[in-house]
């Protein structure tokens, strides 16, 4: 989703640079893309905090159900441990995906922010 948003922002920046004959608009689009990458990192923090709260609530529910149905506590803990392990694996994969996407998006955004006008002008000279 963030990659689509970044692509749209860069396309709008190119359009604005062309429409208003000012390459600085492309640079600004790069700055917006960098900001989007930071929002992605913020969403990762939110995801992890929400998951931790849900995990704590799930552990309490399992303990309550175990006592209501008179399951041995060891059995309930084993089930909880398995579910927790799967969730941790999923979170680790999600963390890697989000953070690597954020780094790549931020790097592209900063490159465009720093050199967008140069790349735009060079592209114009090569096309004309």
Q: What pLDDT digit, counting tens, does each position of 63-75 carry?
A: 677 666 666 767 7
Residue 20 has pLDDT above 90, yes or no: yes
Residue partners of 14: CB distance under 8 A and separation at least 6? 26, 29, 120
* Burial (0-12, 13-18, 19+ Cβ within 10 Å), 25: buried
Euclidean distance between CA atoms 88 and 91, whole angstroms: 5
pTM of the model: 0.73
What is the model's pLDDT at position 95? 85
Token pair in block for residue 56: 């704590």
The alpha carbon of residue 66 and the mean position of all alpha carbons in its chain are separated, in whole angstroms, by 37
pLDDT > 90 in the chain, percent: 40
Are residues 3 and 105 in contact, defined by beta-carbon separation less than 8 angstroms?
yes
What is the model's pLDDT at position 71? 66
The arithmetic mean of pLDDT across residues 37-49, rounded, is: 86
Euclidean distance between CA atoms 3 and 14, whole angstroms: 16
Domain boundaries, the chain: 2-127
Euclidean distance between CA atoms 31 and 3, whole angstroms: 15
What is the model's pLDDT at position 31? 95
Residue 24 has pLDDT above 80, yes or no: yes
Residue of 67 and 47 predicted with greater confidence? 47
pLDDT digits (tens, 9 = 90+) for 96-106: 888 899 999 99
């Amino acid at each position: 989703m963030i990659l689509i948003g970044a692509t749209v922002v860069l396309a709008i920046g190119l359009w604005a640079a062309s429409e208003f004959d000012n390459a600085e608009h492309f640079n600004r689009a790069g700055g917006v893309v960098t900001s989007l990458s930071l929002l992605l990192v913020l969403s990762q923090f939110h995801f992890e905090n929400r998951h931790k709260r849900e995990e704590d609530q799930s552990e309490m529910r399992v303990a309550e159900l175990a006592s209501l149905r008179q399951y041995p506590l060891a059995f309930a803990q084993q089930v909880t441990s398995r579910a927790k392990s799967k969730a941790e694996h999923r979170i680790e994969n999600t963390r890697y995906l989000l953070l690597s996407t954020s780094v790549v998006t931020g790097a592209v955004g900063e490159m465009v922010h720093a050199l967008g006008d140069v790349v735009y002008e060079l592209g114009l000279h090569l096309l004309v």
